C-alpha cells in the first residue's frame, strides 16, 4: 500500500507538471500510464495480501503470487543502484525492496 501511495505522489514529488512537458508526448504518456498501472498492481497485491492471506499460504496459485511479488521486489532492488543514485535514499529503497522480497518469499517455504 505504501508503494501505491508513493507512486500516486509522483506528480508532486517529481514536479511532473513542470518536468513531463519537456518529454515528447509519447514518452510523457508512457511515464504517466506506467506509473498509474504500477500503482494499480501495488493496490491489487495489497488487496490480495490482506483479504486472501490463507489462500496465499495454502494454494499453489497463492505461492506463485508470493513468488512473483518477491521476484518483482528483488529485481527492482537490483535495478536500484543501476538506474538511481546510490545515496542514503537509494540505499534505503534498496533495503526496503530487499525486505519486501524476503517478506513475500518466506511464506513460500512454510508448510
Backbone angles phi, psi at 50, to 5 degrees: -80, -35
- Please tell me the distance from the alpha carbon of residue 75 to that of residue 101, in angstroms, as a whole number: 9
Mean pLDDT in runs of 10 for the chain (111 residues)?
91 94 96 96 96 95 97 95 88 93 93 66
Burial of 4 (0-12, 13-18, 19+ CB in 10 A): middle
The reported pLDDT for the residue numbered 89 is 87
What pLDDT, on the 0 to 100 scale, is given for residue 99? 96
pLDDT of residue 110: 83
- Which residue carries 545515496 as its cell? 87
What integer pLDDT is reported at residue 15 of this predicted model? 94
- Please state whether the predicted TM-score (pTM) of the whole model is above 0.85: yes
What does the pLDDT read at residue 111? 66
In this structure, what DSSP letter does residue 23 have? S
Q: Which residue in 50, 44, 111 sits closest to 72, CA to CA?
A: 44
Amino acid at each position: 500500500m505504501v508503494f501505491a501511495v508513493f507512486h500516486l505522489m509522483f506528480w508532486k514529488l517529481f514536479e511532473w507538471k513542470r518536468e513531463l512537458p519537456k518529454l515528447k508526448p509519447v514518452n510523457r504518456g508512457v511515464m504517466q500510464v506506467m506509473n498509474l498501472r504500477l500503482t494499480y498492481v501495488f493496490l491489487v497485491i495489497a488487496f490480495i495480501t490482506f483479504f486472501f492471506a490463507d489462500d496465499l499460504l495454502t494454494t499453489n496459485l497463492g505461492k506463485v503470487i508470493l513468488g512473483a511479488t518477491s521476484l518483482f521486489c528483488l529485481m527492482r532492488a537490483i535495478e536500484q543502484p543501476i538506474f538511481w543514485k546510490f545515496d542514503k535514499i537509494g540505499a534505503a529503497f534498496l533495503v526496503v525492496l530487499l525486505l519486501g522480497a524476503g517478506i513475500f518469499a518466506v511464506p513460500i517455504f512454510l508448510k
